[in-house]
Amino acid sequence: LLPRADRREWSHDIGAGIEAWTGVYSAVKVCRKGLMLNADVSTKVFYKLDMPVMDYYLSIINDVKRGQVMNRRNIAMDERQRLSLKFTYSDIYMKYVGIGKPANVQRFTMNGQNGEAFELTVEEYFRRYKDIELRYPDLPVIQCGSSSRHIYIPMELVNLSDKVQRVTKMLNEFQLPKLIRVCGIDPKERFKQIDYMLNGLDQSRMDNFLHSFDVELDNRFVELNGRVLPSPHLELHNGFRIAVRDGVWPLENQVKEAPVRVIFGVICVDRAIEYQQFRPCFKTFMSACELFGMQFADGFETVEGVPLYEWDSSAIRSNPLLPKVIEFKTSLFEHERSHHVKIKPMLIFIVPRENPLVYGHVKVVCDLKEGIASQVLLSKTLTKMSGNPERCAVAHNVFLKVNAKLDGVNNGVCRESLEWSKFTNKNEATLFIGVDVTHPAPTDKQSPSIAAVVSSIDVTATRYSCSFKLQHCRNDRIIQMVDPLKERLIDFYRKSGLTPAHIVIFRDGVSNSEFLGTMNEELTNLKVAMNQLEPSYNPTVSYVVIQKRHHTRFYVEGKQYARCKSNVPPGTVVDDDITSPNIFDFYLCSHLGAIGTSRPAHYTVLYDSWNLSADQWQQMAYALCHLYTRCARSVSIPAPIYYAHLACKRARFYVNETLLVIPYSISGYFEIDFKDIEVLFIDMFVSFFRGSSKPGSSLESKEGERIATELNEKIRVHDNTPRMYYV
């Protein structure tokens, strides 16, 4: 719902004909304290009302000039959403289909008064029959209606509809930061907006339905008592301990474990950086790695010893990536044979800009084909690595990712903190599993959904590995989850030498209505997996759902506990008044909200044969939030769930690369004209996931499942790929 005030006060232009509207969300919930109205400000993106299509295209071109890739997908409207358009010379509304030729070139056939067919251009038609002289006949026409009916309208005579149309496509790299700035409002300002909107609605007086049932709305916010969990101490190299303050800790130039005999190889993509600029920056990065304990192989300790390659991504056929990776690996094998040592190699790709096609190609070659660790760096990120390596935060942050990919450990949680000793007991080992399912964009009806199962492989829950699988589109439940769970159990045993006595599953991406159905199905799959491994195996099992997409927010009144403009401090737990009266759930804000209003994670424990107490659940979850390897701060959800998100995201690149690009041999790719990629993309997905069946039919579903199974066989991570490749 939008406030009654002028819409311009609550709308924000984010570019390319799109604006963000801020309104109020409300829902009635049954809580321990009784019926409550959950209200929050909510921001959604919409197409501008009654905007001339010419202005719409001009706004897109402005984005293109700022650096966005020029291609058909960026300069065209979203054909899949079928935007509603309004003609300026009449009150007719039609759906957008596509773009035609210029109005003075586009011809069509019509019947004359004598019944004879004749051709004329769109410009001639509007001059002769509509008495409209086009000012811009060289602009392309807009095709409306349906693809079978060729209705062409000059662009200057078409506006976006004056009726509300929500944007469902992905925002580009320029729109997303603007939307984040709109949404990132401080807690007190957020609550002021909620109060203003609720008072403007005044539902209790104006709603006859509520009035007839004698229901009144108290517009005062609920005051709660929360607890702040103690921050854990973290363990670094040689048992060195470090305190956490407000969810952040200093790196102290050391990590728990760093790899040895490391060899970096660098591939410069599309001449992203000159060597004179590359050399000092990469030297700083290597020095920072050594400060944290990383040791390089003999002969590769300096920038001069790092193998350097060039790759032109625009000429894939004549200059493919795969032979360069093979050349680097061959040199490594020779080094291992001559020195009789096992090395840890990594390829670092320097790219000029973010490009999903290049990134996906790199990850497919390194992760699936050749089994080598890889790290993609923007050239502007590398150039920030200058000066003193001890103080270069950018180099430190990149090192954290590189260290994890090379099987290092950045930090652990001290066993004496937060009852962590109970969950890291070697005599009764605990296996932590994170499960997530991600879906394609709402307008994409053909792409598969991706499920990831991530689990710890050591007792201290610092290292993780994953299994992912593809399944038919839009299915929140994981089909045939037995094999991924078996892989996780086997992997834990192989790496730790222990059989887990306790299994804790963190599940994301489940709505309230699917709680029981999803839990029963997945716990049944777990039971089958355990029986297949050992019929007598019977560990305790706990199953908890984590939700982030909710509208519960907190702010602190007193200055003593307030952080970052009245945000709650990390470790804040709320488990009374606003929680469910029927099941055990709690809210935990485990991170420092530096920008905007902190959003706590909502934990719902659906099954627990371990019989943990509320304190143990909350402290376990909080401790796991300090084991995310990408940064030196606690994060908003436990590490297993965060890694499951990353694994799904990486698998999406595998899928896109596999389906978009013609399979290659060692000689390289077949040449594909970039303008044909969109057509190829649509054709392949339609043939793979729809076939000749009608949308939504059972035949379509079976075909989608069959193709997903085939893709699962085709997209497999190489055995030599590091286990935490997805970070």
- How would DSSP label each residue in 601-630? EEEEEEEETT---HHHHHHHHHHHTT--TT
CB 108, CB 120: distance < 8 Å: yes
Q: Name the burial class of residue 49, with classes exposed (0-12), middle (13-18) and buried (19+) by CB atoms within 10 angstroms of its CB.
A: middle
Strands 117-121 and 11-15: unpaired
pLDDT of the residue at 40: 92
> Closest Cα to residue 159, out of 365, 17, 317, 315?
17
Rg (CA), the chain: 29
Pick the CATH number of 87-160 from 3.40.50.11890, 3.40.50.150, 1.10.3720.10, 2.170.260.10: 2.170.260.10
In the sheet that 158-160 helps form, which strands lie side by side, from edge to edge?
150-154, 140-145, 93-102, 84-87, 158-160
The DSSP secondary structure of 348-397, one letter per residue, reads EEEESS--HHHHHHHHIIIIIII--EEEEEEHHHHHT--S-TTT-HHHHH
Q: What is the pLDDT of residue 215?
A: 81
pLDDT at 351: 96
Question: What pLDDT, on a 0 to 100 scale, did the predictor assign at position 198?
Answer: 81
Q: What is the DSSP secondary-structure string of 226-240?
A: -EEPPPPEEE-GGG-
Residues 6+ apart with CB under 8 A from 636: 548, 589, 590, 591, 599, 600, 601, 625
Task: Tell me which amino acid residue 222 is.
Answer: V
| b/e per residue 71-95 (b: at least 16 CB within 10 A) | eeeeeebbbebebbbbbeeeeeebe
Contact 660/681 with Cβ under 8 angstroms?
A: yes
Q: Which CATH class is domain 258-405?
A: alpha beta
Q: Cα separation of 164 and 184, whole Å?
A: 24
Across 139-173, b (16+ Cβ under 10 Å) vs e yields bbbbbbeeeeeeebbbbbbbbbbeeebebebebbe
Q: What is the pLDDT of residue 65?
A: 52
Residues of the chain with CATH 3.40.50.2300: 258-405
**Cβ atoms within 10 Å, residue 359:** 19
Start-to-end CA span in the chain (Å):
39
Q: Which CATH architecture has domain 412-545+604-722?
A: 2-Layer Sandwich (3.30)
Of 200, 351, 165, 164, nearest to 272 by C-alpha is 351
> Quick one: pLDDT at residue 699?
46
**What integer pLDDT is reported at residue 88 of this predicted model?**
92
What is the three-class DSSP state of 124? helix
What is the distance between the alpha carbons of residues 398 and 288, in angstroms, rounded to a whole number?
10
Distance of alpha carbon 619 from alpha carbon 625, whole angstroms: 10
- pLDDT score, position 542: 98
User: Residue 19: helix, strand or coil by DSSP?
Assistant: strand
Q: Whose CA is closest to 558, among 232, 226, 231, 247? A: 226
Residue at token pair 């604006």: 19
Please give the structure tokens belonging to residue 81. 């959403």
**Nearest by Cα to 413 from 229, 648, 644, 226:** 229
Report whether 392 contacts 286 (CB < 8 A).
no
| Per-position b or e across 597-629, b if 16+ CB within 10 A of its CB | bbbbbbbbbbeeebebeeeebbbbbbbbbbbbb
Splitting the chain (727 residues) into consecutive groups of 10 residues, what average pLDDT does each group show? 63 88 90 91 91 86 55 49 86 88 90 83 93 92 82 92 86 84 88 84 67 82 92 92 93 91 96 93 96 94 93 80 94 88 95 92 95 96 92 95 96 91 95 93 74 96 94 76 95 96 95 92 95 96 96 86 83 94 95 89 97 96 97 96 96 85 34 36 35 44 64 86 95
Q: Beta strand 262-269 with 308-311: parallel, antiparallel or unpaired?
A: parallel
Tokens of 348: 């670092």
88 and 157 in contact (C-beta within 8 Å)? yes
Residues 634 and 625: beta-carbon distance below 8 Å = yes
Tell me the helices (H) and strands (E) count for the chain, helix number first. Answer: 19, 26
The answer to whether 289 and 402 are in contact (CB under 8 A) is yes
List the structure tokens of 187.
Answer: 């807690």
Q: What is the H or E stretch that residue 90 is in?
A: none
